[in-house]
Structure 1
Amino acid sequence: MHLLLRTLYHLLLSGRRSPLSIWDASSWRTRAWPTDVDMARHINNGMYFSLMDLGRFDLMQRSGIWARMRELKWNPVVAAETIAFRKSVTLWQRFTVETRIIGLDAKAIYFEQCMVVDGEIYARAYIATRLLSADGPVSNERIMEEFGTPPASLVLPDWIHEWRENNALPGARRPAPHLRER
């Protein structure tokens, strides 16, 4: 909820920006607001992911995908994410969130997102996402029916497959007991 109004405002602004294909890269320029930073006056580590959500919304809105997903009652969810930090984005500093889809596999759509300051990467994340309908996960075949086939140049790096496999939890319909040692 902490970014609800900012998200709605961002969706409105994104709808007025130049259109993109879902397979293009999106660039969204903003600044670090007081609500984004922690006591050290830099963006809080968890806030990076929230701001990257807005980058993905920018790409979906500008490509027309967001409106179509609303019609189909599909909801995007994050299945896994990882981030690496180089430098801190500080209070009031301007930065760009760069977002692009880097590929798909049988279970997810993968995004690469970077926080960039003056042409330099400060943080980079990889996000595995799914689209859910009332009937469960939407197949990639169905997604491509709606949004087109990805370019042949989109090939996931091997490490993404390994990362996803090594970090995955059981599916929601299978048990995942917590086995805490004491």
Structure 2
Amino acid sequence: MRWIRLLMAMLSAKFKKKLIGTETVSKSFRVWITDIDVSVMNHAAIMTVLETGRIDLMVRSNFFKVASKNKWFFPSQAISIQFYRPLKIFQKAQILTRISYVDEKWIYVEQKIERKGKIIAACIVKNTIKKGRETIPTSEIMKALKIEKVPTFKYDLIKTCELENIQMNEKLVDKWDS
């Protein structure tokens, strides 16, 4: 069912207002019966819903069109997520997505899911853009998207995420047996 949700996100984004710059995008969704384990929305389904928010951002900013023209792809290097409250079957909620920080290599996207003013989950995603093995500089991407002003202030949460990534690599990749 994941692919249906992702396809619907792509199609619906095509008919929404195009984004100007790095606006925050909002997308509503409802918990489907296939999203729940026993009685609440499972974490995998929440991750898929967050992905639909990023798809909405990419389609509405024209990134998908530019990426396919240039043969770019956009892997996520890291996702850090916190879950705060459950969602139950058929409940409606909203995803908020925005670009929070851009440097020469990485684009950080912040997302949160809200329901009736309460945070359900929040995440930060570290993305890069590639063509084959080559990493495309973010300045080239922003130029292609005609985005002149990007968030370049590296606030503490971004620094914490970078430190967490380094520590995860050291322990789980480099020193697994230690």
TM-score category, normalised to shorter length:
0.7 to 0.9
Within 2, Cα distance between the matches of 1:34 and 1:45? 14
User: Shift in Å at residue 178 of structure 1?
Assistant: 5.8
The percent of aligned pairs where both chains have the same amino acid is 24
User: Shift in Å at residue 179 of structure 1?
Assistant: 3.1
Q: Check conservation: 1:31, 1:93, Cα contact below 8 A.
A: yes
**Cα gap change, 1:22/1:77 in structure 2, threshold over 3 Å: closer, same or farther?**
farther
User: Shift in Å at residue 9 of structure 1?
Assistant: 2.1
**Cα gap change, 1:145/1:151 in structure 2, threshold over 3 Å: closer, same or farther?**
closer
- 2:61 matched residue in structure 1: 63
User: Shift in Å at residue 128 of structure 1?
Assistant: 0.7
- 2:31 matched residue in structure 1: 32
Matched, 1:179 2:142: no
- 1:173 matched residue in structure 2: none
- 1:12 matched residue in structure 2: 11
Within 1, Cα distance between the matches of 2:129 and 2:158? 19
Task: Number of aligned residue pairs: give it.
Answer: 174
- 1:143 matched residue in structure 2: 141
How large is the Cα RMSD of the aligned pairs? 2.0
Within 2, Cα distance between the matches of 1:63 and 1:107? 19
1:179 counterpart letter in structure 2: W
User: Which runs of structure 2 are paired with 1:102-121 in the superposition (5 Å)?
Assistant: 102-121=100-119
Give 1:43's match in structure 2, choosing from 41, 44, 60.
Answer: 41
**Cα gap change, 1:28/1:163 in structure 2, threshold over 3 Å: closer, same or farther?**
same
User: Shift in Å at residue 88 of structure 1?
Assistant: 0.6
Q: Check conservation: 1:28, 1:97, Cα contact below 8 A.
A: yes
Give CA-to-partner distance per residue, 1:24-67, whole Å, 9 cap, x none.
Answer: 1110101011122212x212123222211110110111121111
- 2:160 matched residue in structure 1: 162
Give the TM-score normalised by structure 2. 0.87
Q: Check conservation: 2:73, 2:129, Cα contact below 8 A.
A: yes
**Cα gap change, 1:4/1:61 in structure 2, threshold over 3 Å: closer, same or farther?**
same
User: Shift in Å at residue 100 of structure 1?
Assistant: 0.4
Give the TM-score normalised by structure 1. 0.85
Within 1, Cα distance between the matches of 2:99 and 2:120? 19
Within 1, Cα distance between the matches of 2:157 and 2:54? 22
Question: Unaligned regions of 5+ residues in structure 2, if any?
Answer: none
SS in 2 for 1:18: coil
SS in 2 for 1:76: coil
Matched, 1:3 2:7: no
User: Shift in Å at residue 110 of structure 1?
Assistant: 0.6
SS in 1 for 2:129: strand
Question: Unaligned regions of 5+ residues in structure 1, if any?
Answer: 171-175
Within 1, Cα distance between the matches of 2:138 and 2:87? 35
